[in-house]
């Protein structure tokens, strides 16, 4: 039963109707925007009043904002927090953290043990965490993400391309405010590929990136955006693409 982010009233309606039957609320503490004041606190309060568990999905944005999870930034501790990709720097690894009484349920559940003795993931996770304790990764990726957003916004405005940017600085996303948004995104990707840059509608900044990579992307965008503007003016974005238009992405619950 989905509810919208920052819409506490929608969760209240669900709990009013199904409260005693709810096992948990599973959500990202943030994805593209910050929570409104009191939202996460309100979700936690409603969960506990209904006897449900609050689970934060920290897999995508978590450590991009704070070492240890985005929930630390907002001061709201969930009953369970789930981490994965960033924890092992790309190696297969995940971690589920939580309150002792909630985690005790694991003792009564079946969990496959195929990889219990595999050591690469834990070793990668320890090395990653120690590196992030030594190096201010968050400041680095925030700096580059802000440069990317500001630069792309400036180029779009210069060439009259209706572009909107969203997301936190380390994971900026964008879209064209046009009925042919997906075709324009596809055209951008194809023109970027011609310049040996793999680009989509998001930019996942990492520690390996440097100012020179942002500069190279923006220099390519400066060359490509005039064509995007022309495609919008002539309404022929589809005709400029030698192949299919990209899909809109994964289906969401709401």
Task: Evaluate whether residue 112 is within a structural domain.
Answer: yes
Domain that holds residue 89: 8-134
What pTM was estimated for this model as a whole?
0.87
Q: CA angle, corner 208, sides to 205 and 211, nearest 5?
A: 70
Provide the Cα torsion 91, 124, 143, 212; round to 10°.
-70
21 in the same domain as 48: yes
**Structural domains in the chain (count):** 2
**Which CATH number characterizes residue 216's domain?**
3.90.1150.10
Q: Are residues 18 and 122 in the same domain?
A: yes
Q: What does the pLDDT profile of the chain (254 residues) look like in tens digits?
A: 999 999 999 999 999 999 889 999 999 999 889 999 999 999 999 999 999 999 999 998 888 999 999 999 999 999 999 999 888 888 888 899 999 999 998 888 887 777 788 899 999 999 999 999 999 999 999 999 999 999 999 999 999 999 999 999 999 999 999 999 999 999 999 999 999 999 999 999 999 999 999 999 999 999 999 999 999 999 999 999 988 998 887 766 55
130 and 164 fall within a common domain: no
Distance of alpha carbon 211 from alpha carbon 86, whole angstroms: 21
Round to whole Å and give the CA distance between 137 and 151: 21
Task: Tell me how far apart the alpha carbons of residues 134 and 157 are, in angstroms, rounded to a whole number.
Answer: 39
**Is residue 66 in a domain?**
yes
């Amino acid at each position: 039963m989905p509810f919208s982010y920052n819409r506490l009233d929608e969760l209240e309606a669900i709990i009013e109707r199904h409260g005693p039957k709810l096992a948990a609320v599973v959500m990202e503490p943030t994805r593209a925007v910050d929570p409104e004041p009191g939202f996460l606190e309100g979700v936690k309060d409603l969960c506990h009043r209904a006897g449900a568990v609050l689970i934060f999905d920290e897999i995508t944005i978590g450590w991009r904002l704070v070492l240890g999870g985005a929930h630390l930034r907002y001061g709201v501790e969930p009953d369970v927090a789930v981490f994965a990709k960033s924890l092992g720097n790309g190696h297969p690894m995940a971690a589920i953290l939580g309150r002792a009484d909630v985690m005790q349920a694991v003792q009564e559940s079946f969990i496959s043990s195929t990889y219990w003795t595999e050591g690469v993931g834990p070793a990668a996770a320890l090395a990653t965490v120690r590196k992030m304790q030594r190096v201010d990764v968050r400041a680095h990726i925030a700096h580059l993400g802000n440069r990317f957003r500001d630069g792309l916004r400036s180029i779009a405005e210069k060439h009259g391309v209706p572009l909107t940017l969203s997301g936190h600085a380390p994971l900026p996303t964008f879209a064209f405010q046009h009925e042919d948004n997906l075709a324009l995104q596809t055209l951008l990707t194809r023109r970027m590929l011609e310049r040996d840059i793999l680009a989509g509608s998001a930019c996942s900044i990492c520690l390996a990136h440097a100012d020179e990579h942002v500069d190279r992307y923006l220099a390519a965008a400066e060359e490509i955006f005039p064509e995007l503007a022309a495609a919008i003016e002539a309404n022929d974005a589809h005709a400029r693409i030698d192949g299919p238009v990209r899909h809109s992405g994964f289906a969401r619950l709401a």
